[in-house]
């Protein structure tokens, strides 16, 4: 074997080793690239999944909030309808109470006397609806005698009859102090209790309304 052949053989051997090294490096690089690509794909899928999950949760929360608002609106409407139903029931009960004239007149007289005891004014003005004013006028002397000592009361003129279902409005002479014992005034004072009862029971049969008429 001459030197030329030895040189060729050495060159080929070297070339084969280099080729083998390059194949190994290429294989490792390919594996690294595949692993990095797989990791990037996994991370992108994870991000996309997180974004999709976040969007789904936000959409779900929005639907829940919309449902809650819709339900709240329905409940508010139902409570309002219940309040109106109660008011209509109370008005009917008030009319039935007024139909019992002896009891109703005694109640009116008691309201006037009690208001006279509360109002720090010697002179009072009593107002009622037109029908009640006519009945009060017929027995006014009796009512005046029942007033506390030092107190006098005047029945408002017929032309000044107030618009109320029943009851009376008692005021000081200067009208700065008033005790509103009309049906509407007493109902307005009981409104929070009525609404509270609705929230607690949601049944009109459970409303405590007796004292609206009797004390």
Q: With respect to residue 64, please indicate whether it lies within any of the assigned structural domains.
A: no
Res 119: pLDDT? 93
Establish if 108 belongs to a structural domain. yes
Q: How confident is the model at residue 4 (pLDDT cuts 50, 70, 90)?
A: low
- pLDDT at residue 199 greater than cutoff 80: no
Q: What is the average per-residue pLDDT within 55-80?
A: 82
Beta pairing, strands 123-127 & 152-155: parallel
CA distances from 169 to 1, 107, 115, 141, 158 (A): 138, 13, 9, 18, 14
pLDDT at 186 over 60: yes
Residue 76 in any domain: the answer is no
Within a domain: 80: no
Number of domains making up the chain: 1
In a domain, 125, yes or no: yes
CATH assignment of the domain containing 106: 3.30.2320.30
Single pTM value for the model: 0.60
Q: What is the mean pLDDT of residues 45-74?
A: 83
Task: Quick: pLDDT tens for 120-161.
Answer: 899 999 999 999 999 999 999 999 999 999 999 999 998 999
128 burial type by CB count under 10 A (0-12 exposed, 13-18 middle, 19+ buried): buried
Percentage, residues of the chain above pLDDT 90 = 42
72 within domain boundaries: no
Does a structural domain hold residue 110?
yes
Average pLDDT over residues 33-46: 83
Domain extent for 205: 101-214
Residue 84: inside a domain, yes or no?
no
């Amino acid at each position: 074997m001459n030197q030329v052949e030895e040189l060729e053989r050495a060159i080929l051997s070297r070339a084969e080793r280099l080729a083998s090294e390059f194949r190994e490096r290429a294989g490792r690089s390919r594996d690294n690239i595949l692993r990095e690509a797989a990791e990037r794909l996994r991370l992108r899928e994870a991000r996309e999944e997180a974004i999709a999950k976040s969007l789904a949760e936000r959409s779900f929360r929005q639907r829940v909030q919309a449902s809650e608002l819709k339900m709240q609106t329905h409940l508010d409407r139902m409570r309002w309808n219940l309040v109106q139903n109660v008011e209509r029931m109370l008005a009917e009960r008030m009319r039935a109470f007024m139909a019992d004239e002896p009891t109703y007149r005694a109640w009116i007289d008691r309201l006037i006397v009690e208001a006279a005891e509360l109002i720090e004014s010697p002179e009072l003005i009593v107002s009622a609806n037109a029908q009640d004013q006519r009945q009060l006028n017929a027995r006014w002397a009796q009512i005046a005698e029942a007033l506390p000592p030092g107190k006098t009361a005047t029945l408002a003129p017929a032309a000044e009859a107030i618009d109320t279902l029943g009851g009376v409005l008692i005021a000081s002479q200067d009208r700065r102090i008033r005790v509103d014992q009309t049906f509407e005034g007493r109902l307005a004072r009981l409104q929070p209790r009525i609404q509270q009862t609705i929230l607690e029971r949601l049944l009109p049969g459970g409303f405590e309304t007796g004292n609206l008429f009797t004390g």
